[in-house]
Structure 1
Amino acid sequence: MSAPLTTLHVWGVPGRAVPAALLRMAAGRRPLRRTSGLRFAKLLGTGSGRTFTLRDADPRRWALLAVWDDDAAAEAFEGSPVVRRWRRLAEEEFTARLRPLAARGRWSRREPFGSPAPQRWDGPVAAITRARLVPRQALAFWRAVPPVSADLHAGPGLRLALGIGEAPIGLQGTFSVWESAAALNDFAYGRAAHAVVVDRTAREGWYAEELFARFALLSVTGTIGGRSA
């Protein structure tokens, strides 16, 4: 399996367009299934990622994570009806193009980013985390999140952090962009709050399914909340 190209689109819509955005989310899966060169796709809600509860959810910002056979398929999608319909609603748009550097775990019982061989990358990096919570462990998870989130947002080298998920509760994830692999490593392995949660996750079995992936950030266009990555 060749190394896929991954894209993340994020569209910010005005308040008056929220009902139309919800319809786009509900109706968007069928046209995606017909998209040539698309290996994997998830329509996602977004939020601050500070608590991973309903109060984090941002109904004015929606995302599409997609994995493509090649660059040409991703480029062709930019002119597709799916993207054109979102752009008619959006007042802000962000797109990141990513190459997987490492990935472990599964998303919907699949390995969407393949099994990339470890490789060096000297530029900015992105990380995607995703987990499906075991319901009986949800309260422990939610209690543990705030100190880790505060540490994340205060972390040196962080350019951007966004909560992502297929549902407001139970299917949680993050997308983050870092100045370098060293900055990401410092947060992942060198920060006490995160290390405690990683240890508890393994011991207490919080997740029914989880995934962590690291990417080379190839390019970014647009903004999220007026900020670029």
Structure 2
Amino acid sequence: MGAARFSIGKTPHIGFWKLCGSGTGEGFTPLPNTQVYAILATWPNTQIAQEQSLSAPLFRRYNARADESWTVFLTPTSVRGAWSGKVPFVESADTEGPLAALTRATVKTRKALRFWKRVPAISSVIGSDPNVAFKIGIGEVPLLHQITFSIWPNADAMANFARKDGPHARAIKAVRSDDWFAEELYARFRVCGEAGTWGGVSPLAQLKEIS
């Protein structure tokens, strides 16, 4: 993962990209999981994304070394904030269907302990929500640069979770009142497709059961 940063930017048509590790369990812990990694990349369109994620040399090497890989293809519908000083996603027209939510934050060093005290409770609540089809916590830098990614059947299901009183809502209030983050980004995407499996199954299959 570390060495890939020297070559991934040379991949034809790739735009904004990030190489990320994960935490243990579902990623929502400060303890690193050396078995699960994530690549986030933007492309001009879905066709190029599908072709390059299968055929580009870097991605072929990852797939060859992996016991399992899963790629989800997304179209951004809204974005607020910045990531490494940039707005990485270009919004497109919204459509009906399953959606994904991504939050990314640079946690202020002096606020990191407060942040991580909140995370287990939030992970437990989202994990018990019957509507969430997939969730994971990943990050660029352990403890300080954190990303959450989740997939939902529709906007109402995601909004109901976000607005419901509980650990998540209280954490959001603390973020604002205590000024936890030096930089933050919130984005939504429509789910366009997938390739591969996660844990031997398609995470998107659950969306059909929910709908």
Give the alignment of 1:168-179 within 5 angstroms.
168-179=142-153
Give the alignment of 1:175-186 within 5 angstroms.
175-186=149-160
Report what 1:92 is aligned to: 68
Give the alignment of 1:130-169 within 5 angstroms.
130-169=104-143
1:102 counterpart (78, 83, 94): 78
Query: How far apart are 1:51 and its partner, in Å?
Result: 4.4
Query: How far apart are 1:121 and its partner, in Å?
Result: 3.0
CA-atom RMSD in angstroms: 1.6
Inter-CA distance 109–52: structure 2 relative to 1 (3 Å threshold): farther
- 1:112 is the counterpart of 2:63: no
How many residues align structurally? 201
Give the alignment of 1:54-65 within 5 angstroms.
54=31, 57-65=32-40
CA contact (8 A) 1:99 1:215 kept: yes
CA contact (8 A) 1:95 1:222 kept: yes
CA contact (8 A) 2:162 2:169 kept: yes
1:68 counterpart (25, 29, 43): 43
CA distance in 2, matches of 1:225, 1:72: 26
CA distance in 2, matches of 1:155, 1:135: 31
CA contact (8 A) 1:103 1:214 kept: yes
CA contact (8 A) 1:162 1:174 kept: yes
CA distance in 2, matches of 1:50, 1:222: 20
Report what 1:12 is aligned to: none
% identity of equivalent residues: 37
CA distance in 1, matches of 2:28, 2:37: 18
CA distance in 2, matches of 1:76, 1:37: 11
TM-score, normalised via structure 1 length? 0.82
Output one character per residue of 1:91-139: Cα deviation in whole Å (capped at 9) or x when no partner. Answer: 101010000111111111111113x26x543211111111111000011
2:163 counterpart (178, 185, 189): 189
CA distance in 2, matches of 1:65, 1:26: 14
CA contact (8 A) 1:165 1:172 kept: yes
Report what 1:212 is aligned to: 186
Structure 2 stretches of 5 or more lacking a match?
204-211
CA contact (8 A) 1:44 1:62 kept: yes
Query: How far apart are 1:27 and its partner, in Å?
Result: 1.4
Structure 1 stretches of 5 or more lacking a match?
1-24
Q: Secondary structure at the match of 2:133?
A: strand
Q: Secondary structure at the match of 1:104?
A: strand
Q: Secondary structure at the match of 2:42?
A: strand
Output one character per residue of 1:138-181: Cα deviation in whole Å (capped at 9) or x when no partner. Answer: 11111111211111111131011111111222111111111211
Inter-CA distance 215–81: structure 2 relative to 1 (3 Å threshold): same
Report what 1:7 is aligned to: none
CA contact (8 A) 1:129 1:174 kept: yes
Give the alignment of 1:11-90 within 5 angstroms.
25-47=1-23, 48-49=25-26, 51-54=28-31, 57-77=32-52, 78-90=54-66
TM-score, normalised via structure 2 length? 0.89
CA distance in 2, matches of 1:97, 1:65: 10
